Amino acid sequence: MRRIIAIPVCILLGAAATLSAGDAKLPMLFHDDFEKGAERWQPSDAKAWKLTKTDKRSHYSQFQQSKIKTPHRSPFNFSLVKDLKVTDFVLETKVLSTGKDGAHRDMCLFFGYQDPAHHYYVHMAKQTDDRANQIFIVNGADRVKISTKTSKGTAWDDQWHNVKIVRTVADGKIEIYWDDMKSPIMTATDKTFTWGQVGVGSFDDTGHWDDVKVFGTLAK
């Protein structure tokens, strides 16, 4: 049975209870600031994730590389929100990259996740090429780039950044935002997967996540 996470009133006083995706107003379905643990998460490899504290706050940390392998070329370091499958959605979160600096220093967001061989993911890397800083689909084969727009690279440093996905299934729209919440850094249009889980992670780096919010429509 799918579960809607109740959000305390004190949290909603600081954030809108609904958010727009296209013309739809989407209710908040999930919010986790990790101050009470990470029991609402489903990691691909629990040994690679832990709660950590920086600046007196708790964060969800992918602190090492996973030895779990995927059936096709795609990230295997990820953690999904348990018991939550959505169609249209907006996901907002804060992220701090802790990996070594380099062209493919990355953090990833996952959505439309049905199983390890069928999902989308966003690869936000410092430099762009056909394998980096793109939106990808994994559909029973190695990942395929579906971005119609991307940036020259995602400027990872040792600071916290805000990221967001906006997804509407009727028109297939996918938009990715990084710090600037008005102009997407990446876009794509694809209708292959119209529902699925959402999550966070990395292809082959490490990082901290915090304040994850999901607004959306539950999949039936």
What per-residue confidence (pLDDT) applies to 38? 96
Asked whether residue 77 is domain-assigned, the answer is: yes
178 lies in some domain: yes
Torsion angle, alpha carbons of 201, 3, 56, 64, to 10: -20
- Give the residue with greater pLDDT, 11 vs 128: 128
Residue 4's pLDDT is 40
Task: Name 115's Cβ contacts closer than 8 Å, sequence gap at least 6.
Answer: none
Q: How far apart are CA 149 and CA 15, in angstroms?
A: 30
Q: Is residue 3 part of a domain?
A: no
What pLDDT shows up at residue 15? 42
What is the tens place of the pLDDT at every residue in 116-132?
Answer: 999 999 999 999 999 99
Question: Is residue 4 one of the residues assigned to a domain?
Answer: no
Residue 2 within a domain: no
Query: Which range marks the domain in which residue 31 is found?
Result: 9-218
Asked if pLDDT for residue 10 goes beyond 60, the answer is: no
pLDDT of the residue at 207: 95
Confirm whether 166 is domain-assigned.
Answer: yes
Q: Residue 53's pLDDT is what?
A: 85
> What CATH number has the domain bearing residue 172?
2.60.120.560
CA angle 132/202/57 to nearest 5° reads 135
Q: Considering the domain boundaries, does residue 103 fall inside one?
A: yes
**Does residue 64 fall inside a structural domain?**
yes
On the question of pLDDT at 115 being above 50, the answer is yes
pTM of the model: 0.89
Give the model's pLDDT for residue 104.
81
Span 58-101, pLDDT tens digits: 999 999 988 788 889 899 899 999 999 999 999 999 999 998 88
Confidence of residue 16 (pLDDT cuts 50, 70, 90): very low
CB within 8 Å of 88: residues ≥ 6 apart = 21, 22, 24, 26, 167, 168, 169, 170, 216, 217
Q: How many domains does the chain have?
A: 1
Four-CA torsion 63, 49, 134, 161, nearest 10 degrees: -70
Give the integer Cα–Cα distance in Å for 5 and 118.
Answer: 25
The band of 20, judged by pLDDT with boundaries at 50, 70 and 90, is: low
pLDDT value for 102: 78
Q: Is 50 exceeded by the pLDDT of residue 3?
A: no
pLDDT (average), residues 145-155: 97
| pLDDT, mean over the chain | 90
Checking if the pLDDT of 166 tops 80, the result is: yes
Tokens of 29: 């379905």
